[in-house]
Amino acid sequence: MNNHQEQSRLFETLWASFLEGELDAEGSRQLQELLENEETFQNVAVEQYEIHRLLGFLMKEYPEQSESFVQETLQKLRTQTNEFSTQTMQRIRKTVFASPSSLPATPNNKISEQKISAIRRSIGSLFVVSSGWMTAAIAIAVLFYVWKSIALTPVTPDQSTTNNSVDDAVSPADQVRFTRVARAQFFGELSPGVDSSVQSEKTYCLTSGMVELLFPRGAVAILEGPAIFRARDGECLEVDTGLCSVYAPDGAEGFQVLTPDANIVDRGTRFSIHVTDFSETEVHVIEGAADLYRKDIINPDSISKSNSPVQQEIRLTERQSARVQTSKEFQSAPMEFRADQYRKQLPDRIISYEASQGPDGGVDQLLNIRLQRNGQEITHSVDDLIPVELIWFQANEVSRDGHFLGRETLPVDRRELSSNNSLASGVINPGGSEQPLTTTPILKHDPANGIQGTPGMAFRFQKPVKNRLGPDLVLFEIHPISSPTNGDAFHISPLNFQKGRRSLTITNYDLSLLSPEALPVMHMHAHNLLNRPITSLDQLMTDPAQGRPVRLKYRALAVAIDLSDLGYEPDEEADGIFIQDAEDGHGRIDPVFIGGLP
Amino acid sequence: MMAENIQNEHDIEESLRRVRGGDTDAYEVVIRQLERPLRAWIASLASPGIDVAEIAQQSFITAYLRLQEYEPGTNFSAWLFAIARYQLKTETTRLRRIADYQVRFAPDLLSKELDRQEKEPSSIMATRLEYLRLCTESLGGSLSQFLNWRYQEEVSLEEMAKRSGRSVSAVKKQLWILRQQLKACIEARAATSRSL
């Protein structure tokens, strides 16, 4: 053995001892010497150290650790920012709010201009006396105060009546409301709740999904994402891009839609408008009439058509369409009429649900579901729904998050977790496949005879579910708020592939993490099984389980599914369904409630 | 993995936008998205004796308080990791100053490594962790047992030697080889991923 080999062996021994915390003083001296003289040893030492530490991190990791870290960090954050703001606020109060008359009392939690100016002055003076890190900290603290003043301070009746601000009157645009929402996702903000106000002049960026807006005089507009729009004055909607369908009933005539190049004025009609990415405006009138004007005409009714040297107005009547583009002159071109561009209503979906509250305020037992089925909005009590029974389960690999959610103790028959009405219990983390099934799943695992079961889980309805118009079953899954907002993707398949039946992949839920209607779930316990994959329902039912509290926050997402999408004929009955995780690299599906619609 | 990273970045930017808009609670989403890779990265380069959680928490708080310095859309996680690197470097230097000269080699070594690694985007660390997890799962039963004893149950080397019927130095050697194999496995997975 040469000298280098000897040194390498010595280095390995010493560094391994160091990693184990067993290095004595003489070993430390030798190690330091070796590291100083040999760069290769330094590299190996860093590599070994990194893996050693990552193994320590990875193998001692458990979900509660993350939750505990997050909560501790947030607590420290609050404490530290409070320390900054306490001192700063004392100064601000002295300099800005010394006089009671300067206290703001505007409605809608809006901060007064007077206060903003005072705060700006205060910030300015603070910047003069501060520098570097403290400047940043104080500026942030002041901004916190501004934010809190705007967003957090509740408005009491007293406050709202002590000021005669012009803001007292609610503007017409503030009376515009989001009346319906379907899988809507907005850039940079949560989806609006049903019946929430549309903020006046605010630009909304609808990245996907649809919303329905109701204007004060009865006009209804449905916008489909991607779309950018804003409500102007209660009788006017401005669309920068996207597809919009308008219905103006009697009394709503004169409702306007502004696009980059044109004003469209309703004359009692149904029409659709498509503003393309190139700012062209396409208008298709379904019934009634609509007038198109140049964008710079403020008041269309004041136009004197006879004095107009160029075309300034185009009237479209039923089943007519036009494409409008303004360059130097207002130009329009006929185009193929497309009735299918007009959307009469939002698609069928789960609108909302109600559930009982657990001890911590999170939801527990599902009570009812409100959904749109074949265009009709209906509410079903959970007792009306057809329950399911778990008849098959197989996982591809060991689940570190366990396969059961529920109370501290598992029920004797673990299948109950899937059959009960609780949104805080279920059999979770089934196996899956990137590709959906194209053949009947195998609900048996007998390797000795060469039979490998299909990864996933199968449910049988307590009585067959009939394929009616619109959705036929509902599925709820719980999803941590720290995960991607769309929910866990999954495949749903018939139990028996025949007569053109097929699988359907669900990647979006009707109620996602961005929906205010997806409610937080009560505290749960997860139960881990032995450190081996679950290959059959029997094994799932009998393997020893160990429970632990779940500390992450979850919400219950929901989606309605139409059996027609699985290839069932109208009025054909389904005995059950098969579910597989879509193996998309995100979390596995955690179904907590499945029910057939009556 | 790439799509997930993009989605995560998108979620983070959206949350930061909300924080700036006054929804201070939205910062929780940022912490949840990045805490795991950040803690793992700090753990992999922190000298013994450094409180990893403390450094990670202070990094999030500093990033929050200096949020006006962050330019939206320029990769918040990389910016956060740069802050963490500075915090870790400061703490490593402090430890080195108070350490006996004979045991300064560890902070010296890791300090040098911190200088070398200008920044470690969260996506890379998250990927490395995932590769490590997959690599550990691909180990055979007896090798996997060694890792479980050492890193999960934290049993002593003597106890591991007793359980496996080997000498303590043989156990040390086995752990050394295992770490080498895992390192090679991670690199192989990374290389395969890059070539796809």
pLDDT at A331: 63
Residues B53, B64: Cα–Cα separation, whole Å: 17
Cross-chain Cβ contact A16/B173 below 8 Å:
yes
pLDDT at A300: 47
Which chain A residues in 80-99 lie under 8 Å from chain B, judged by CB atoms? Answer: 80-81, 84
pLDDT at B101: 57
Cross-chain Cβ contact B56/A35 below 8 Å:
no
Partner residue facing B147 (CB), from A55, A147, A484:
A55
Amino acid at A393: F
At residue A212, what are phi and psi to the nearest 5 degrees? -115, 130
Residue A239, C-beta contacts closer than 8 angstroms, at least 6 positions apart? A223, A227, A228, A229, A257, A258, A259, A273, A275
Partner residue facing A59 (CB), from B1, B105, B147:
B147
Dig out the tokens for A18 from the structure: 């160091």
Partner residue facing B129 (CB), from A25, A58, A151:
A58
Partner residue facing A60 (CB), from B8, B151, B172:
B151
Cross-chain Cβ contact B32/A31 below 8 Å:
no
Dig out the tokens for A199 from the structure: 């903020």
Strand partners, A593: A476
Dig out the tokens for A537 from the structure: 């329902």
Residue A13 at interface with chain B, using a CB cutoff of 8 Å: yes
Residues A420, A397: Cα–Cα separation, whole Å: 26
Residues A315, A477: Cα–Cα separation, whole Å: 50
Q: What ipTM is given for this predicted complex? A: 0.87
Cross-chain Cβ contact B147/A53 below 8 Å:
no
Q: From the CA of A23, how many Å to the nearest CA of chain B?
A: 10
pLDDT at B99: 61
Of all residues in chain A, the one with the smallest CA distance to B176 is A16
Partner residue facing A140 (CB), from B65, B103, B128:
B65
Q: Do domains B2-92 and B120-195 have the same CATH topology?
A: no
Residue A378, C-beta contacts closer than 8 angstroms, at least 6 positions apart? A370, A371, A372
Can you tell me whether residue A199 is helix, strand or coil?
A: coil
CA-closest candidate to residue A239, choices A216, A211, A218, A268: A211
Asked whether the whole model's pTM tops 0.95, one would answer no
Can you tell me whether residue A411 is helix, strand or coil?
A: coil
Residues A158, A169: Cα–Cα separation, whole Å: 16
Q: Which residues of B touch A152 (CB under 8 A)?
A: 22
pLDDT at A82: 59
Cross-chain Cβ contact B44/A48 below 8 Å:
no
| Long-range contacts, A185-192 (Cβ 8 Å, 24+) | A185/A209, A185/A225, A185/A485, A185/A512, A185/A514, A186/A514, A187/B14, A188/B14, A188/B17, A188/B18, A189/B14, A189/B18, A190/A514, A190/A516, A191/A514, A191/A515, A191/A516, A192/A516
Residues B195, A296: Cα–Cα separation, whole Å: 56
Q: How far is CA A38 from the centre of its chain?
A: 54
**Pairing state of beta strands A363-373 and A376-381?**
antiparallel
CA-closest candidate to residue B23, choices B67, B57, B55, B59: B67
Strand partners, A231: A200, A237
Residues A252, A275: Cα–Cα separation, whole Å: 22
Residues A598, A386: Cα–Cα separation, whole Å: 7
Cross-chain Cβ contact A148/B22 below 8 Å:
yes
What residue ranges do the domains of chain B occupy? Answer: 2-92, 120-195
Do residues B62 and B80 touch, judged by C-beta distance below 8 A?
Answer: no
**Pairing state of beta strands A196-197 and A177-186?**
antiparallel
CA-closest candidate to residue A224, choices A243, A251, A199: A243
Side-chain-facing half-sphere of A55: CA atoms under 13 Å? 29
How many A-B residue pairs are in contact by the CB < 8 A criterion?
Answer: 164
Rg (CA), chain A: 32
Cross-chain Cβ contact A56/B45 below 8 Å:
no
Q: Which residues of A touch B29 (CB under 8 A)?
A: 481-482
Q: How far is CA A434 from the centre of its chain?
A: 23
To 10 degrees, the CA torsion angle through B37, B43, B44, B49?
170
User: What CATH architecture is B120-195?
Assistant: Orthogonal Bundle (1.10)
Per-residue pLDDT tens digits for B124-157: 787 888 899 899 888 877 788 888 888 888 888 8
Dig out the tokens for B122 from the structure: 């969260």
CA-closest candidate to residue B50, choices B11, B96, B4: B96
* Cis ω before A226 (30° cut-off from 0): yes
Residues A286, A343: Cα–Cα separation, whole Å: 10
Can you tell me whether residue A409 is helix, strand or coil?
A: coil
Residues in chain A: 598
Residues in chain B: 196
Residues A295, A258: Cα–Cα separation, whole Å: 7
Mutate to test the interface with B, among A54, A140, A479, A481 (most CBs of B within 10 A): A54
Q: From the CA of B52, how many Å to the nearest CA of chain A?
A: 10
Of all residues in chain A, the one with the smallest CA distance to B47 is A49
Which uninterrupted H or E stretch holds A167?
none
Do residues A521 and A363 touch, judged by C-beta distance below 8 A?
Answer: yes
At residue B96, what are phi and psi to the nearest 5 degrees? -60, -40
Give the neighbor-by-neighbor strand order of the sheet with A546-550: A426-427, A404-406, A524-528, A546-550
Partner residue facing A70 (CB), from B17, B31, B112:
B31
Can you tell me whether residue B183 is helix, strand or coil?
A: helix
At residue A472, what are phi and psi to the nearest 5 degrees? -120, -15
CA-closest candidate to residue A81, choices B65, B16, B69: B65
Residue A52 at interface with chain B, using a CB cutoff of 8 Å: yes
Strand partners, A442: none
pLDDT at A403: 93
- Domain B2-92 CATH class label: mainly alpha
Q: Which residues of A touch B176 (CB under 8 A)?
A: 12, 16, 48
CA-closest candidate to residue A567, choices A442, A455, A461, A437: A437
Q: Which of the residues in chain A have pLDDT under 50?
A: 87-173, 298-310
pLDDT at A278: 76
Which chain A residues in 453-482 lie under 8 Å from chain B, judged by CB atoms? Answer: 481-482
Q: Which residues of A touch B182 (CB under 8 A)?
A: 51, 55
Cβ neighbours of A541 (radius 10 Å): 14
What is the 3-state composition of chain A as percent helix, strand, coil, each rounded to the nearest 5? 30, 35, 40
Q: From the CA of B60, how many Å to the nearest CA of chain A?
A: 8
Partner residue facing B4 (CB), from A50, A55, A585:
A585
Per-residue pLDDT tens digits for A537-587: 999 999 888 888 988 889 999 999 999 999 999 999 999 999 999 988 778
Residues B186, B196: Cα–Cα separation, whole Å: 16
pLDDT at A345: 92
∠ Cα A8 A9 A10 (to 5°): 90
Three-state SS letters, A276-306: CCCCCEEEEEEECEEEEEECCCCCHHHCCHH
Per-residue pLDDT tens digits for B87-122: 888 888 777 766 655 566 777 777 777 777 665 556
Can you tell me whether residue A506 is helix, strand or coil?
A: strand
Can you tell me whether residue A593 is helix, strand or coil?
A: strand
Mutate to test the interface with A, among B20, B65, B117, B136 (most CBs of A within 10 A): B65
Residues A345, A182: Cα–Cα separation, whole Å: 10
Of all residues in chain B, the one with the smallest CA distance to A481 is B29
Can you tell me whether residue A70 is helix, strand or coil?
A: helix
Cross-chain Cβ contact B31/A74 below 8 Å:
yes
Can you tell me whether residue A429 is helix, strand or coil?
A: coil
pLDDT at A351: 94
Per-residue pLDDT tens digits for B154-191: 888 889 999 989 998 899 899 999 999 999 999 898 88
- Per the rule left: phi > 0, alpha: psi between -120 and 50, beta: everything else, A21 is left
Cross-chain Cβ contact B40/A60 below 8 Å:
no
Q: Which residues of A touch B172 (CB under 8 A)?
A: 13, 16-17, 20
Strand partners, A322: A283, A334
Partner residue facing A32 (CB), from B7, B39, B102:
B102
